Amino acid sequence: MANDEHVALLKKGVEAWNQWRQRNPEVRVDLSRTGLSGANLSKADLSEADLNKASLLRVDLGRADLRRADLRRADLSEANLAGANLGRADFSEADLIRADLTGAELREANFSGANLIEANLSGADLRRTDLQGAILIGTGLFQALTSPAVTSMAHPRGG
């Protein structure tokens, strides 16, 4: 369950949040199961944050730092993650339907079982990214960087 203090700090705005993170780098941020739909978190430092099962529908995380964040089973449908650093983040079983990940850093991220229907990963760095069991129907991959280590198996859930 989310830490109420962390949620309140984040709602003060990205500038105040990032200043707090700089002063408290050792704190493990817990925003799990938090409802932040529609929030503007562009350029927020959410590295290593627990966002497990968070509701992030249509949230703006453009150019945010989400390295090593836990986003398992989070709802990021229609979210803006363009230019975000998502390296080593865990998006397993997350919903990213129509999410914009244009130019995002996704190196070594885990998207196993994630729903990426009609998501835009154009220009994203997918090297060593786990896409096993991910749903990639209609997903845009124009000029995405990939390597042989990328695992990809698109299929409908339950099939």
CATH of the domain at 141: 2.160.20.80
Structural domain for 70, as ranges: 1-159
* Overall average pLDDT of the 53-77 stretch: 98
Q: Total structural domains in the chain?
A: 1
Neighbours of 7 (CB within 10 A): 15
Cα separation, 131 vs 18, in Å, equals 30
Predicted confidence at residue 157, as pLDDT, reads 45
Q: Which has more confidence, 52 or 128? A: 52
SS3 category, 100: strand
**Backbone phi, then psi, for 40, in 5-degree steps?**
-100, 100
For range 97-119, the mean pLDDT = 96
Q: How confident is the model at residue 155 (pLDDT cuts 50, 70, 90)?
A: very low
Q: What is the pLDDT of residue 137?
A: 92
Tens of pLDDT, residues 72-82: 999 999 999 99
Per-residue pLDDT at 151: 54
Q: What is the mean pLDDT of the chain?
A: 91
pTM of the model: 0.89
